[in-house]
Each structure stands twice: as structure tokens, then as C-alpha cells.
Structure 1
């Protein structure tokens, strides 16, 4: 788990640093550009979420085939299921990118306004959105290729791509934004170019590793099986994004500067959670391969040890989140309203840090077992229904302060993690010859 999770975590670190670089350069353009990019990012990931499940779906379908030894047939040029899954994942990624763009064309502006963008912020948000939506195919193909490589036990290639992408972004952002005077459009253009290059690189590594030619396929029978894994994972991600979307919309009632503060704080929290997300990738791949090999006792062992490793991560990250949050926020802005909101969010949500870790590992094991429905239902309740109702009552009806929303997040996440943990233990115990969990 550690061997696979370290490269995966490092890749996610570079991906988050990539996003923080965009925010950093937007800050140099002014507070309006920072607020516009923060709002646009929420809208973009909402529209992109329909394809985010491709990575989990690809890993869930391919990893068991790896455990059964199907990779050897692919390398020898045989009719391996691995090759056909990869081709269909690629085809699905292309289809989802077209769907994301079409949805964005009709809904993006309304969503930007809904999130509280003032008239002088809205054009800046839309500048970023039009460019990134046009290049969404790079994001989708990257997700699919990364999921396939993860199932093969390769987390290093995606790490390398994301690391190179971070440094490329750090060079292209100032060139496009200030050198060519493109402003927010320059930030978006740099992102699109890098993501398309990343997709080609990962697909090339995948093709070379298996000695195959990757050709987008649209086999409906395989798409049906794939969609059974992709759609729940995508919908789970969608509920996360929608939950954040609703949170941002409610925070937007207090002003766009508070939206910017929450967004920066959220990105910093995600940076600290990245080791746990890298562990999530490793757990999904290992559990899937062991299921394919019929070794269910190792699935139980994998889950147990992931929680112990995750606890060590939490003990390291929580003090950073609480004590160093003012310093971290100061890197991005000098505006008190933005800084104070970010610091407040980070210190309160530190209470739920280990609960996030437990949720990540539970979801990883369930997806590897091809049981994605509970994460989806739990996501709907945790991210969407319960916070929306509670926060609407607190903020809109009872006129509570903004900070009450952050406490709601903590309570809901902790309760959800307990439910996910015991459900995962039960499902593992039902596997043939599964080892008992302590």
C-alpha cells in the first residue's frame, strides 16, 4: 500500500499545487479575478463530475482482470479483456467530454450568477469557463488512463505527468497571463494545453506497457457493465461537487470575498488530505487484484492496515491545519475577509480530518468489490440533502452566521464515516473465506 500510495499521493500533491498556482496568479490580477476563478472552478468541476467516475470505474473493471492474470494475454497480443476495457474507457471519456461541454454551454452563466458572482466578477468567471470546457477532453482522457494504470499497479506515471504539468503550469501561467496579456483566459489556456498533453502521455505509457494500440470503442455491452461502476462513482463525485456548490452559493450571500476565502481554504485542506487520497488509490487497486485472485482475506487485511496508516496521516496533518492556517492563507491574499474565512474553515474542519480518511478507504474497498451504491447514497445524504436542508434553515431562515455551516460539515462527515466503516466491515465479512476484522 505504501509503495503504491506514495507516488499517487505525490501526483495529487502536484495536482493540488497546480490548482493553487492558478489561484496564486489570479490573486496577482486582483481580488475580482481571484473571486471569479474561485466561482468558475466550482462550476467547472460540477460539469466535469459526470466523468470523474471514469477513473474509479476503469480501475474497478480492470484490476480484477489483472488479478486473474489477463495482462499477460494483452502483452502477448491476445484477446485480453484488459485491452477491450481500455478501449471502451477511452471511448466513454470522449463521449463524456462532449456532454460536459454541451451542459456547460447551456448552464454555465446561470450557475456563475447563482454562486453570487457580482456583475464585475461574472465576465472573469466566464472567461475561464469557456476555455476549460472546450478542453475538457484532456481531463476526461487523463482520468480514464490514470484509472487503467492504477489497476495495473502503476501510480508513478500519473505522478510524473502531474509533476511535469505543475512545473509547466508555473511557466505558462505568467507567460500567457502577463506576457501575452490574456489575463484569466491565459490561466485557463495553460490548463487546457497541459491537460491534453497529459492525456496523450498517459495513453502512450498505457499502450507501450501492454504493447497494444488504443482505439476508442463503443461496445454497448461493455459500456453497460462499465457504466454500472462509473455512474455511481460519478454521481458520488457529483454530490460532493453539488454539496460544495450549495455551500459556495450560501457563502456567496455574505460576499464573493468569503467565497474566495472558503475556496482557498478548501484547496489547502485538500492538499493535506492528498496522502489519504493516494492511499485510497492503492487500496482500490490492491483490493481489486486480491478479489480477482480470490484472496478475500487479504481484502480485510488491506482495509485494516489502511485505517492505521490513515490515522498516522491524520496525526501529522491536523496540527498543521490548525496552527499554520494563517500562514498558509497569507500566501494567497492580504485581504482580511478572504484570509479570515479560510483560516476559520481550516480550523473547524480539522475536527473531521480522520473521518474523511475513514470515508476514503471505505469507499475504495467498496468500489473494488464493485459495490458502489452505498457510497453514492451516502454521498447524496452527506453532501447534498442533509447539509442543504440544515444550512438553508440556519443561514436563510434563522440568520445564523456563516461559521455554522462549517460545523454542519464536521458533524455530517463524522456520522457518515461511522456508517461507511461498519457497512464496509459487514460486506467484507460476507466475502467467501473473508478474514474477521478486529
Structure 2
């Protein structure tokens, strides 16, 4: 688990540092550009959410065949994963054409922020195929027990972003569009590299394919995972919209704080990838007791990660926020969010591991239902009441997030434990 999780975590760290680099360069342009990119990125990943689940679906369907060494079976899934990636990106573009601008306005973008957000969005939507293909390839490699190739791609992408961002943004004077263009170029290069690794490793060629039966099976895994991701993004979207009631600078502060939190959660997310890959391969071999062992050890390793990360998250948050902006309002919002959310850090770890095991067991529905409640229904109802109806201060939303996450983690733990017990006794 550690051998697989370290490369995955390293890759995710560089991916998040990549996003922070974009934020850093946007801050160099102006505080308005920083706010516009913060809003646009929320809208983009909301529109792309249906394609994000392809990584989970690809891993869940490929892992059993990979565990049995059935290369032909793996190729069949890869062909259909690439076909679905193309379909998902086309769908994202169509929806974005009609919905992008209203969503940007809904998030509270003022007239001086809206054009900057839309400049970023049009470019990223046009290049959404690079995102979906790279997601699918990364999921396939994860199912094969390869977390290093995606790590390498993300590391190189981070370095390339440091070169392309100033080139496109300042030298070619493309502004926020330049930041988006750099991301699109790097994502297409990442997808090309990952598929090349897959084809070389398996000695196959990958051809986008539509196989009704395989698409149906893939969609049974992808759509719940995508919908779960959609609820996460939509819940964040609603949170940003409510924070936007207090001003765009608070949106920027929350967004930067959220990205910094993700950096500290990345080792846990890397562990999540390892847990899913190992549990999925053991499912293919009918080693059900090892699925239980994987879950227990994942939670233990995650507890150690929490002991290390929580003090860093609390005490170094002022220094971290100061690296991105001199605006005291933006800094204060980010610091407040980070310090309050330390209370839920290990609860996130439990949620990640529980969802990973259930998806490896090809039981994606409970994570979807829990995601709807945790990310969407419960916090949206509570926060709307607190902020709009009762006119509570913005900080009350952060405490709502913590409480809902902790309760969800408890529910997820007991449900996952029960499902593993049923599997082992069957």
C-alpha cells in the first residue's frame, strides 16, 4: 500500500501545486484575475464532473481483469474508456456553451470579474478532451498497479506550467486566457504520454470503441462516481455562491484555502488510490479477507498522516496564504477556513478509504447517496438557512462543513465494515 500510495500522493501533490501555480500567476495579474480564475475553475469542474468519474470507473472495471492477467479483457475496456472520454468531453462543451455564463454570474462575479472568468472558461472547455482522456488513462494505470507513470506526468506538467504560464500570460499578453491555454496544452500532452505507456506496457493499440454492453457496464460504475463528484463540486459551487454574498475577495480567500487544504490531504488521496487498486485486484482473485485487511491498514496509515498534517495546517496557514496575496481580507478568509477544517481532517481520510473500498467492490451507489446528502442536501439547507434567512456570519458555514463531514465519516465507516463482513461470509 505504501509503495503504491507514495507515487500517487506525489503526483497529486504536484497536480495541486500546479493549480496553486495558476492561482499564483493570476494573483500577479491582479486581484480581479485571481477572483475570476477562482470562480471559473469552480464552474469548469462542475461542467466536467461527468467525465471525472471515468477514472474511478476505468479502475474498477479494469482491476479484476488485470489481477487475473487477462490482457485482451483489459484492452477491451481501454478501447471503450477512450470512446467514453470523447463523448463526455463533447457533452461538457455543449452544456458549457449554454450554461457557463449564467453559472459565473450565479457565483457572484461582478461586472469587472465576469469577462476574466469567461476568458478562462472558454479555453478550458475547448480543451476538455485532454482532461477526460488523461483521467481515463490514469484510472487504467492505477488498476494495473502503476501509480508512477501518472506521477511522472504530473511532475513534468508542473514544471512545464511554470514555463508556459509566463510565456502565454505575460510574453504573449494573453492574460487569464494564457493560464487556461497552458493547462490545456499540458493536459493533452499528459493524455498522450499515459496512453503511450499503457500501449507499450500491454503491447496493444488503443482505438476508441462503442460497445453497448461494455459502455453500459462502465456507465454503471462511472455515473455514480461522476454523480458523487458532481455533488462534491455542486456542493462547493453552492458554498462559493453563498460566500459570494459577502464579496469576491472572500471567494478568492476560500478558494486558495481550499487548495492549500488539498495539498495536505493529498497523501490520503494517494493512499485512497492504492487501497482501491489493491482491493480491486483482490476482488478479482476472490481474496475477500485481504479486502478487509486493506481497509484496516489504510485507516491506520491515514491516522498517522493526520497526526502530521493537522499541526501544519493550523499553524502555517498564515504563512501559506501570504504567498498568494497581500489582501488582508483574502488572507483572513483562507486562514479561518483552514484552521476550522482541521477538526474534520481524519474524517476526510475515513471517507476517502470507505469510498475507495466500496468502489473496488463495485458498490458505487452508497457513496453516491452519501455524497448527495453530505455535499449537497444537508449543507445547502443548513447554510442557506444560516446565511440567507438568519443572516449569520460567513464563518458559520465552515462549522457546518466540519459537522457534516464528521457525521458522514461515521456512517461510511460502519456501512463499509458491514459490507466487507457480508462479502467475507458469503
TM-score range, shorter chain: over 0.9
SS of corresponding position for 1:297 = helix
Task: Report the CA distance between 1:432 and its aligned residue.
Answer: 3.5
What's the CA shift string for 1:137-187, capped at 9, x where partnerless?
000000000000000000000000000000000110011101111100100
Q: Which residue of 2 aligns with 1:251?
A: 243
Q: Which residue of 2 aligns with 1:77?
A: none
SS of corresponding position for 2:153 = helix
1:266–1:346 Cα contact (<8 Å) kept: yes
SS of corresponding position for 1:430 = helix
Which of 325, 331, 355 is the equivalent residue of 1:339? 331
Which of 400, 404, 409 is the equivalent residue of 1:408? 400
Aligned length: 426
1:8–1:158 Cα contact (<8 Å) kept: yes
Q: Which residue of 2 aligns with 1:117?
A: 109
TM-score by length of 1: 0.97
Instruction: Note the 1:66-77 alignment, pairs <5 A.
Output: 66-70=66-70, 74=71
Partners in 2 of 1:349 and 1:102 — Cα distance?
Answer: 36
1:59 aligns with 2:51: no
Q: Which residue of 2 aligns with 1:4?
A: 4
1:17 aligns with 2:26: no
Instruction: Note the 1:208-223 alignment, pairs <5 A.
Output: 208-223=200-215
Task: Report the CA distance between 1:66 and its aligned residue.
Answer: 1.5
Q: Which residue of 2 aligns with 1:261?
A: 253
Q: Which residue of 1 aligns with 2:311?
A: 319
What's the CA shift string for 1:213-237, capped at 9, x where partnerless?
0000110110000000000000000
Q: Which residue of 2 aligns with 1:355?
A: 347
What's the CA shift string for 1:176-201, capped at 9, x where partnerless?
10111110010000000000010000
1:297–1:433 Cα contact (<8 Å) kept: no
Q: Which residue of 1 aligns with 2:153?
A: 161
1:329–1:342 Cα contact (<8 Å) kept: yes
Q: Which residue of 1 aligns with 2:44?
A: 44
Partners in 2 of 1:218 and 1:260 — Cα distance?
Answer: 42
Task: Report the CA distance between 1:431 and its aligned residue.
Answer: 1.1
Structure 1 segments of 4+ aligned residues over 2 angstroms from their partners:
none
Partners in 2 of 1:433 and 1:296 — Cα distance?
Answer: 9
Partners in 2 of 1:185 and 1:60 — Cα distance?
Answer: 36
Task: Report the CA distance between 1:433 and its aligned residue.
Answer: 4.6
1:318–1:350 Cα contact (<8 Å) kept: yes
TM-score by length of 2: 0.99
1:281–1:364 Cα contact (<8 Å) kept: yes
Partners in 2 of 1:104 and 1:294 — Cα distance?
Answer: 43
Partners in 1 of 2:320 and 2:126 — Cα distance?
Answer: 32
The unaligned stretches of length 5 or more in structure 1 are 75-79
The unaligned stretches of length 5 or more in structure 2 are none
Partners in 1 of 2:52 and 2:239 — Cα distance?
Answer: 20
Task: Report the CA distance between 1:67 and its aligned residue.
Answer: 1.7
What's the CA shift string for 1:19-41, capped at 9, x where partnerless?
00000000000100000000000
**What is the alpha-carbon root mean square deviation over aligned residues?**
0.6
